[in-house]
A and B are shown apart, each in its own frame.
Chain A
Amino acid sequence: MKILVCISNVPDTTTKVKFVDDLRKLDVNGIQWVINPWDELALTRALELKEDASNAVQMVTVAHVGPASAEPTIRKALAIGADDAIRVNTDPEDAFVVAAQLAEVLKADPYDIVLCGIESSDHNGSTVGGMLAEMLEYPSVSCVSSLRIENGQPVVSREIDGGKETVSVPAPFVAVVQKGIAKEPRIAAMRGIMSARTKPIRVFEPKAIDGLTGVTGYEMPKPRAACKYVDADNAGQLIELLQNEARVF
């Protein structure tokens, strides 16, 4: 069995985002780029599955759609333990282009399990995994919080509103994964970092694919009104303010 983990290259969570070009482009100055947090958890789970020989996972590959500047992030995934990597060499216009470029690669080189994070922490779209599944005509399960292989058959837990379902799904399929899929993201060890240097990154040139959407500009949130403080000794006054001023109950 082969597992593909799709990874997004995003600004570190603590980044204070700023925009340039009349609020049309992200100011990349000083940004530290990381593997999207959910994708990192997906990679961790893929590696755990591979390490248990009974699962018969031979290969964990990471795939990314982006320019060469993303290679440090891809190397990080290799250092964490992926066997090899795929990069489609284009700066994608939107999520549809990302999914379509990945679909082109996967049609020529199929994987049994494709993992995508539930969203990327930049555009918060939650779309690439489902789009990719539809393009490949694979079944998909989203909001997946656990994945195991039972007698060669993938079994997942899916979060539903107010509960959880256990779902068995035939490979090949796409799992869109979220919190719970792995406990903690795995951190690269020195040996992994050394061996990552020589692991292959297969670079594909993009197919001509147009996006369906485009960002016309960004806006910063309006500052909230200053906090109104209530004295701790007189905490009950807070309830009065919420009731009579904010009128929230």
Chain B
Amino acid sequence: MSVLVFLENWDGKFKKLSFELVSYASKLAGMLGEEVVALSIGQVDTAELEKPALYGASKIISIEDGNLKSVDEQAYTALIAGTATQLGAGVVILSNNNNGKSLAPRLSVRLKAGIASGVSRLPVSVSPFVVYKKVYSGKAFSNVEIKTPVKILTLAQNSFELIENPKPAVIEKSTAQADAQLMKTRVTEVEKQTGKILLTDADIVVSGGRGMRSADNWGPLLEMAELLGAATACSRPVSDEGWRPHGEHTGQTGKIIAPNLYFAIGISGAIQHLAGISSSKYIVAINTDKDAPIFEAAQYGIVGDALKVLPKLVEKLREVKSK
């Protein structure tokens, strides 16, 4: 038996979230007395394929069929399910990101495996298999029992620490190929943003709300993000007004993120906004209204005008960073 981890690559590289998955799988495998096998689909070179071993994978299987550059949900599902069945995997772990959300439910049906999505902790118990997960958009948590012999988990991004646990790695290049019959979708165009820190990957996020008052006032916020190596975000009214792009909207219907540090600047903290950011480790609130709900979610706060406070923060950061 083994714990199987599905690893995505981005232009041939694994990201931090891939190693979070392996770290989690490694701890879980310890609880179950099993081994971690990682499955990579796509073109990844050998040096990169060795990296999951640093976090506890004993075996890395690589499927490199050139037809698998973009995700076809049916074809990918068939390959992951085939690997899981071949290994007799008891648990399959994916990220709760775009691709994980696309593949995990199909795998669940294929493998007759119950699924718990968006988990952030190791199971409460493994027999029965019970996991703790966020429900009601973060307003509560549930303990979910997976009753099937095979289990599927999707792990919330940035919710589990990287734990080094080097293992001698076996890298197995698989000759498995996409089933052409299943490849029904066709990607005709790809747009990728380059050179920017992705909101969902960022350790620090600087986010602005209506308190920024207009699209013209974003300069100091962007500078602060730059100084911190942070991604930028915004609340829904801001993207609706067109002050910032829709891709920056964090909240229940926008992006759901869990950075280590989230700056809510001129954001009152409506329940829909909190649903997208409440898993952040630290929340800093800057708002003129001392009764704004964001202060209930925050660990640090400044009651004041965002446009007056921001330049002071930028000035201090410049000083700190120049040391």
Contact = CB atoms under 8 A, between A and B. Distances in A.
Interface string A1-42: 000000000010111110100000000000000000110000
A37 B253 contact: yes
A165 B192 CA distance: 9
Contacts of A160: 71, 98-99, 190, 192
B178 interface: no
A131 B145 contact: no
Interface string B251-264: 01110000011000
Contacts of B139: 16-17, 221
B174 to A, nearest CB: 22
B225 interface: no
A123 B136 CA distance: 6
Interface stretch (B33-41, B100-108, B162-170): B100-108
A235 B316 contact: yes
Nearest to B204: A249
Interface string A146-171: 00000000010011111111111110
Contacts of B74: 133-134, 137, 139-140
A124 B117 contact: yes
A21 to B, nearest CB: 14
Contacts of A51: none
Contacts of B67: none
B252 to A, nearest CB: 7
A129 B296 CA distance: 35
B73 A235 contact: no
Contacts of A121: 136-137, 252
Nearest to B194: A162
Contacts of A68: none
B299 A19 contact: no
Interface of A, helix, strand, loop or mixed by DSSP: mixed
Interface stretch (B19-27, B43-51, B180-188): B180-188
B228 A139 contact: no
B112 interface: yes
Contact of A236 (B130, B246, B312): B312
Contacts of A129: 105
A143 B148 contact: no
Interface residues of A, number: 83
B271 A13 contact: yes
Contacts of B193: 162-163
In this complex, the member of A17, A128, A134 whose beta carbon has the largest number of chain B beta carbons within 10 angstroms is A134
Given A122-B136, A134-B77, A143 B147 contact: no
Interface string A217-237: 111110011011111100110
Contacts of B185: 139, 141, 167-169
A227 B294 CA distance: 10
Given A124-B118, A166-B188, A235 B142 contact: no
A193 B138 CA distance: 33
Contacts of A211: 114, 147
B284 to A, nearest CB: 7
Contacts of A58: none
Interface stretch (B58-66, B83-91, B302-310): B302-310
A176 B106 CA distance: 12
Nearest to A213: B114
A164 B191 contact: yes
A14 to B, nearest CB: 6
A217 B145 CA distance: 10
Given A212-B146, A213-B145, A246-B299, A166 B271 contact: no
B188 A123 contact: no
Question: Which 3 pairs across A and B sit closest by C-beta, in order of nearness?
Answer: A232-B304, A130-B105, A212-B114
26 contacts: A95-B105, A124-B134, A124-B137, A126-B118, A130-B108, A140-B74, A141-B102, A143-B98, A160-B98, A160-B190, A163-B191, A165-B189, A165-B190, A169-B186, A173-B184, A212-B146, A212-B147, A216-B145, A218-B142, A221-B139, A228-B299, A229-B303, A232-B304, A236-B319, A239-B313, A248-B260
